[in-house]
Structure 1
Amino acid sequence: MEDGDTGIDHLDQMPTNSHLIMTSLTAGAFAGALAKTTIAPLDRTKIYFQTTPTAPFSTRTVLSYLIKTYKTTGFFSLYRGNSATMARIVPYSAIQFASHEQYKRLLTPTPSTSTHTSRFICGSLAGVTAQSLTYPLDLCRARLAVSPSNKYKNLSDVFLKIITKEGPMTLFRGFIPTMIGVVPYAGCSFYTYETCKKCYREEFGTEASGVVKMGFGAVSGVIGQTSSYPFDIVRRRRQVGVELVEGNLARVMVEIARTEGIIKGLYKGLSMNWIKGPVSAGISFSVFDYTSMLLRKYW
């Protein structure tokens, strides 16, 4: 929904801010869970190729990996780590959407005050807020997704073994590139989605339908993930313990580009993101809008 639009028709029925927060948290959690479950096998495959520098990435190798995983460990192994993903994405998505609504209320209290800059800043702040509060869950989910099935029993086992064997600070390995990367990712995603809705409303004088909003979300997902993908590569490799050159983020990225190439290194697996990213973002944004509207109208 656009700035100031709560899905309520009459002023005497306007919800309180606490009600807006609760509906945003609920709708965000549901939207994130549905979106991530839909693309779970592709997400697991992407993490494998991101964290395995020696594995060449192509459509053939992706299909080969999926088929091999299915034949050797069964269909449900394609969803290995999805419970951990849910443990992370439910609070992440809930916090991200709810905080975005609050940042919009703070920075753009009316539709007329919404600018290109404010829409980008609101999205970036929402992403940083959610990622900061759920980062250890993201790291453990990545470990669980790429590890052999006999290494970790579940998400809590990942937490316990990391803390006892590698130290608590390991839970925040890759935190810096994640925070840097989430600024363009969340900023571009929310900016694109909100701008598309705003332009549609101004052009046609009505709210976009659910299908059109899903299309807007798909476009926002492509733009957001492409803008931040190299940071995602560094983040995933640090999370799962892949050896990287010592130094700051820029040096690590230069070394990956030098040894593996820009396309095959820093953007390895991006084409898969162009498949799963639009699906995930399209579902997430449109389901959040629709669910939050219903909750605010009938709750």
Structure 2
Amino acid sequence: MTPSRPSGNSGPPAIAASDSSDHAAAAPIQMSGKSEKSKVPQQSWQYALRSGVAGGLAACAAKTVVGPLDRVKILFQASNPEFAKYTGSWTGALKAMRDIYRSDGGKGLFRGHSATLLRIFPYGGIKFLAYEQVRAMVIRSKAEETHLRRFLAGSIAGCFSVLATYPLEVIRVRLAFETKSHGRVGLSDICRTIYNEKVPAPRAPPQLGSAIPESAASAISASTQAISAVTQQRGLANFFRGFTPTLWGMIPYAGSSFLTHDAAGDFMRKPALAPYTILPLSERTQRQLAPNKPAPLRAWAELTTGALAGLVSQTLSYPLEVIRRRMQVGGVVGDGHRLTMTEVAGNIYKTKGFRGFYVGLGIGYVKVVPLAATSFFVYERMKVFFGI
């Protein structure tokens, strides 16, 4: 997938997938000095910028493809009262989209999409950029290219992207959760609502007694009161609801996504499958013939690797995603109390049992499979376009 990968995977499959005339015609291009000279070093800022833009464009394309399903999934996960009746059935998503379309038209299916694109471009850009750079640091040779290192590189990249874009994710979810048809709910309205949501004062801390000096106890009490006052007057903390489960969920999601994509790509390039999965040399551009790059896959094969990545990552991380959605809309469906991960998980299990952690998973599969497939496919094509 990445330019840092040694050419060991790309040599034999490419020859097996093409005839001798193709290979003979391509050889002078591969050996030319022009290709080597035009190669962008992976540790350079040019490579980082190009990979970031490519990742951002790929993420935007993928999110647009699944925009309507994304909104319905959020409504299901967050237990929106108007759509709770549709959960638990495969046809529920279609019925929910039908109701949204009848009440709000086509725009209703993409409510919150502008906030989605605003967030997803930097999110996707940072994720792919970070993966390329972290991968180059943890996998410096073919011998070091293990599943664990691939998983680690993907997890770190996902965490970086979440840290940079999380408040935008909360805004997007709240826009998608909004179902009122009267009036127009804009980005500024949602931001103002989230900011002004009052947060109940935290529970009083336990009495410290004589465990510490009285002066220290007074200082701690004063600090707690000050923090409580600031929290209630300044609602910036509301933009980070669900941040902890997001980070925890990103570890298996991003890690397994990149791991599965790279592993599936290796499988597709095996000599037995190469004649059917690898793009023939006669159909490749000069940039795709650059040395030290894995053999490019056909469109259907690249889409398949991305789809498998989405399927695996969604299955592993979905319970944490449900917890995150509930925390993000806590100011709407609850009393405003900022619940912890364990409290939210306990409430889900108490009301719906173990199945509550997989509400909307069917939609998740329908959404994430094309999402991941489109994302990886567009990213690989953008890398070729940008010459990296």
Give the TM-score taking structure 1 as reference length: 0.91
For 2:116 and 2:181, how far apart are their aligned partners in 1? 16
Matched residues, percent identical?
34
**Deviates most, 102-111 or 56-65:** 56-65
Matched, 1:43 2:135: no
Rate the CA distance shift 1:144–1:272 in 2: closer, same or farther, 3 A: same
Q: Say yes or no: does 1:295 pair with 2:386.
A: yes
Equivalent residue, structure 2, for 1:286:
377
Note if 1:79 corresponds to 2:110.
Answer: yes
- Report the residue type matching 1:155 in the other structure: L
Over 3 Å counting, the alpha-carbon distance change for 1:153 and 1:243 in structure 2 is closer
User: Structure 1 residues 101, 6: closer, same or farther in 2, change over 3 A?
Assistant: farther
Please identify, of 276-285 and 197-206, the stretch whose mean Cα deviation from structure 2 is larger: 197-206
CA 1:134 to 1:283, structure 2 compared with 1: closer, same or farther past 3 Å? same
- Which is further off, 95-104 or 164-173? 164-173
1:270-290 deviation line (CA, Å, top 9, x unaligned): 011111111000000111011
Give the Å deviation of 1:6: 10
1:274 and 2:365 matched: yes
Alignment of 1:259 with 2:284, yes or no, is: no
| Structure 1 CA distance for aligned equivalents of residues 298 and 143 of structure 2 | 22
Alpha-carbon offset, residue 254 of structure 1: 3.6
Two-structure CA RMSD over aligned residues (Å): 2.4
Q: Note if 1:59 corresponds to 2:90.
A: yes
Note the 1:87-102 alignment, pairs <5 A: 87-102=118-133
Question: 1:183 and 2:251 equivalent?
Answer: yes
Partners of 2:342 and 2:311 in 1: how far apart?
24
The structure number with the bigger radius of gyration is 2
Contact 1:29 1:93 in 2 (8 A): yes
What does 1:1-299 correspond to in 2, within 5 Å? 1-2=1-2, 4-5=4-5, 10-16=35-41, 17-52=44-79, 55-56=84-85, 57=87, 58-147=89-178, 148-149=180-181, 153-166=185-198, 167-203=235-271, 204=274, 206-241=295-330, 242-243=333-334, 248-263=340-355, 265-296=356-387
Give the unaligned 5+ runs of structure 1.
none
Structure 2: how far apart are the matches of 1:121 and 1:278?
Answer: 22
Q: Which runs of 5+ in 2 are unaligned?
A: 8-28, 199-234, 279-294
Distance 1:152 1:139 in 2: 19
How many residues of Structure 1 are paired with residues of Structure 2 in the alignment?
296
Contact 1:135 1:172 in 2 (8 A): yes
TM-score by structure 2 length? 0.71
Q: Return structure 1 stretches of 4+ with deviation > 6 angstroms.
A: 244-247
Question: SS where residue 59 of structure 1 aligns?
Answer: coil
**CA separation of 1:194/1:151 partners in 2, compared to 1, >3 Å: closer, same or farther?**
farther
Deviations 1:18-38 (A, max 9, x none): 111111111111100010001
Change (3 A) 1:173 1:247: closer
Q: Equivalents in 1 of 2:189, 2:324: separation in Å? A: 21
